[in-house]
Structure 1
Amino acid sequence: MTLGDTLKGMVGLDPTGHADPDMKAVLDALKSLEPKPIARCTVAEARQQPTIADAVRKLMTDPAFSARPSLELEAVRTQDFVIPGAMGGNPARLYTPQGEGPFPVILYFHGGGWVMGNLDTYDATPRSMAAQSRALVVSAHYRQAPEHRLPAAHDDAFAAWRWVVDNAAILGGVPSQIAVMGESAGGNLAINVSIRARDAGFRLPMHQALIYPVVSNNIVSISYEENRNAKPLNKAMMLWFVENVINDRNDLTSPLIDVVSADLSGLPPTVVVTAGIDPLRSDGEKLVHKLQVAGVPVEHRNYRGATHEFFGTAAVVQAARDAQAFVSLAQRQAFGAAPL
């Protein structure tokens, strides 16, 4: 049997049956909230659908999950404010760990296909990274499609980077220790910040953490076919996101979208996290290879029984705890700190 025959046999299957038990519990909780398929939604409807974060909150009412050891994130302090974007102000949230600063700084971009998501739906990751990486985390929102199509989000992301570099000390950070991080579409924004900073001769991040990033225009990869019917992200959703963010078909070949076709030399040390049950897994794997060829130090871990969006579920999913520990260790090492 050829690979093509194998992939054809996978069409129509739901790969989430291979999820780790705790990951499956999150998916079941999400299903119980009766989300409407995003690809069948208007943009307004899509932004109102239940999220993985909602599913985690529901599971936390179950004693089997709420009794798990706490990650002790309550000590992280938050402050909401507005930072300059490319065309006006954007919401942002500062996460400050317990202890005395100044702290290293991480600029974080949330996911949501450049269309959905906000500071609240993606609160778990920056909160965890602030605690575990002992860093200030600035979670920066950005203009979203389809109201603001390519390259609006990317322009806002770079504006956020410039602002953080200029204001790190005022925030209580170490100006010489600033990293970038993002999930999914936010991972795409994060690596594009590094590329644009390099090309502009501006300060580069000292490290980048890319969590299941969107970095390729290949929608017929192995992972896209394996996970065309996956949850919470599937192939139809990705096509819906892309159609909402591009101006025309020519944008599909833009290195802003097809990052793996860009010049990746001279980028900062990188960690890449992928999930086995995720259409974007092959994107991440190809990016790792391209970074290695370009001479960029890169570490990669794939979590086979996890799905897209798993990284922020550490309150209930062990793979997320493991992934967060992997990323925070890399960040602390980049900042020159001893491991926790």
Structure 2
Amino acid sequence: MNNLSRRGALMLPLGLAAFTSACVQPPSGTMMPADPSGRADPEMRALLETLARLNPQPIETLSAADARRQPSLADAVKARALELSNTNPMRVIGSQQDMTLNTVPNPLIARLYRPVVNYSGPVPLIVYFHGGGWVIANIDTYDESARALCVESGAMVLSINYRQGPEVRFPGAHDDANVAYAWAVRNAASINADPNKIAIAGESAGGNLAINAAIYARDAGLPAPKVVASIYPVGGVDLNTPSYQQFANAKPLNKPMIEWFVRNYTRSPQDLQDPRMDLIGKADLSRLPPVILVNAEIDPLADDGVRLERKFRAAGTPVIQRTYPGVTHEFFGADPVLTKAKEAQSFVGAEIRRAFDAPALPPAGPVPRGRQPMRRPAM
């Protein structure tokens, strides 16, 4: 199959047969503005202008290896902080430790963040999955988000470096998220974590992994997380929603980039029919712990958050959703330079604290007839 026919085959299940990326590219020889949407608030616009000065190349035109070397919004946050004479922008935590989880069949690299707060006993724990379309970025790129969750929740944060495409395609990252959560449940005592107070969180592609890990825990009979925080998650496979159309050219995430992520992570169009990729259309979202959804206004994925909220409610799962105006995808970790990032972090941290303090939930109950539980990973 040539490149053009493969692209068409991949996009058909996403409803993009008549909505190709060619229609969202600027004319040849022109420069895309730092804020193509024109809706960014002053702080966000300044950050996007800083990102533009770092001259990142369009990821959708690059190989995965080259895309991973491009300047990210996290790099722009550091540069913008220096422009504002903030020479020490990182959140203060107690300590951090890089470690290797003895997960099977693949050991996973992780980073454990410990809060400054002193506990007399075991500490609550958040298992965190970074973003990057299941292809780019790592725990370093999303360091500020993990540190902020640690500070705002008062919990430890275990940030997972899962495997990525195209080297490891679907469901590699999803399998890694599942075994990472299982490891946390079974090995909590080894890091002085409270096995009865574990949450899951993630951003973007990691937000999708966070929800899927909670589904896995339910179906595999593992103890449920106390709460799931999913920040601008990939919720479905419809790339023709109103937010995809309105923010097709948005920075730092646009529709052609998402198409590129899909091509580099999935094995074939059939993967897009899997409930793990299509949470909105095909996943069973019932009998799950409370869910926190955070979205950005200027984001192709904004409608995924709204549609996920509706589906969680219809399934009887407690959910709270909040969209922050004037900011873009990836804003959550930009607290050194964005007021709304601080607000979102405080909101998520407070909700996680509330969930940790809530009475234990009853077991999810037996798996309905006709559904086979997922095999528990060996640890």
Q: Which residue of structure 1 lines up, in the alignment, with residue 149 of structure 2?
A: 129
Q: Which residue of structure 2 lines up, in the alignment, with residue 3 of structure 1?
A: none
What is the rounded CA distance, in whole Å, between the counterparts of 2:349 and 2:78 in structure 1? 23
| Structure 2 stretches lacking a partner, 5+ long | 1-18, 27-34, 359-379
Deviation, structure 1 residue 206: 1.0
What is the rounded CA distance, in whole Å, between the counterparts of 1:241 and 1:254 in structure 2? 16
User: Are 1:18 and 2:39 an aligned pair?
Assistant: yes
After superposition, what is the alpha-carbon deviation per residue over 1:90-135, rounded to whole angstroms, capped at 9, x for unaligned? 2100000013232110000000000001110000011011111000
Secondary structure of residue in 1 paired with 2:256:
helix
Q: Which amino acid aligns with 1:304?
A: P
Deviation, structure 1 residue 87: 2.9
What is the rounded CA distance, in whole Å, between the counterparts of 1:163 and 1:325 in structure 2? 28
After superposition, what is the alpha-carbon deviation per residue over 1:248-277, rounded to whole angstroms, capped at 9, x for unaligned? 111111111001121100011011001110
Q: Which residue of structure 1 lines up, in the alignment, with residue 284 of structure 2?
A: 263
Q: Which residue of structure 2 lines up, in the alignment, with residue 46 of structure 1?
A: 67
Q: Which residue of structure 1 lines up, in the alignment, with residue 299 of structure 2?
A: 278
User: Are 1:290 and 2:316 an aligned pair?
Assistant: no
Equivalent pair of 2:93/2:150 in contact (CA under 8 Å): no
Q: Which amino acid aligns with 1:150?
A: F
Equivalent pair of 1:85/1:155 in contact (CA under 8 Å): no
Q: Which residue of structure 1 lines up, in the alignment, with residue 112 of structure 2?
A: 94
Secondary structure of residue in 1 paired with 2:222:
coil
What is the rounded CA distance, in whole Å, between the counterparts of 2:93 and 2:307 in structure 1? 38
What is the rounded CA distance, in whole Å, between the counterparts of 1:254 and 1:179 in structure 2? 25
Secondary structure of residue in 1 paired with 2:243:
helix
Q: Percent identity?
A: 47
Deviation, structure 1 residue 15: 4.2
Q: Which residue of structure 2 lines up, in the alignment, with residue 319 of structure 1?
A: 340
What is the rounded CA distance, in whole Å, between the counterparts of 1:304 and 1:284 in structure 2? 14
Q: Which amino acid aligns with 1:274?
A: N
Higher CA-based Rg: 2
Deviation, structure 1 residue 208: 0.2
Q: Which residue of structure 1 lines up, in the alignment, with residue 169 of structure 2?
A: 149
What is the rounded CA distance, in whole Å, between the counterparts of 1:266 and 1:15 in structure 2? 40
What is the rounded CA distance, in whole Å, between the counterparts of 1:53 and 1:71 in structure 2? 12
What is the rounded CA distance, in whole Å, between the counterparts of 2:180 and 2:278 in structure 1? 22
Deviation, structure 1 residue 86: 4.4
Q: Which residue of structure 2 lines up, in the alignment, with residue 110 of structure 1?
A: 130
Q: Which moved more, 1:98-107 or 1:144-153?
A: 98-107
Match among 245, 249, 262 for residue 242 of structure 1: 262
What is the rounded CA distance, in whole Å, between the counterparts of 2:187 and 2:70 in structure 1? 35
TM-score by length of 2: 0.83
Deviation, structure 1 residue 16: 3.3
Secondary structure of residue in 2 paired with 1:57:
helix
What is the rounded CA distance, in whole Å, between the counterparts of 1:139 and 1:313 in structure 2? 17
Q: Which amino acid aligns with 1:187?
A: G
Match among 349, 357, 369 for residue 328 of structure 1: 349
Judged with a 3 Å threshold, the aligned counterparts in structure 2 of structure 1 residues 209 and 71 are, in CA distance, closer, same or farther, namely: farther
What is the rounded CA distance, in whole Å, between the counterparts of 2:259 and 2:154 in structure 1? 37
Deviation, structure 1 residue 75: 3.3
What is the rounded CA distance, in whole Å, between the counterparts of 2:94 and 2:348 in structure 1? 18
Secondary structure of residue in 2 paired with 1:242:
helix
Q: Which moved more, 1:14-23 or 1:292-301?
A: 14-23
Equivalent pair of 2:93/2:113 in contact (CA under 8 Å): no
After superposition, what is the alpha-carbon deviation per residue over 1:48-86, rounded to whole angstroms, capped at 9, x for unaligned? 0000110011011123x629xx88822331000111344
Deviation, structure 1 residue 26: 1.0
User: Are 1:233 and 2:234 an aligned pair?
Assistant: no
What is the rounded CA distance, in whole Å, between the counterparts of 1:51 and 1:87 in structure 2? 31
Q: Which residue of structure 2 lines up, in the alignment, with residue 160 of structure 1?
A: 180
Equivalent pair of 2:93/2:147 in contact (CA under 8 Å): no
Match among 98, 101, 107 for residue 83 of structure 1: 101
Secondary structure of residue in 2 paired with 1:61:
helix
What is the rounded CA distance, in whole Å, between the counterparts of 2:296 and 2:343 in structure 1? 12
| Structure 1 stretches lacking a partner, 5+ long | 1-6
Secondary structure of residue in 2 paired with 1:120:
coil
Equivalent pair of 1:16/1:24 in contact (CA under 8 Å): no
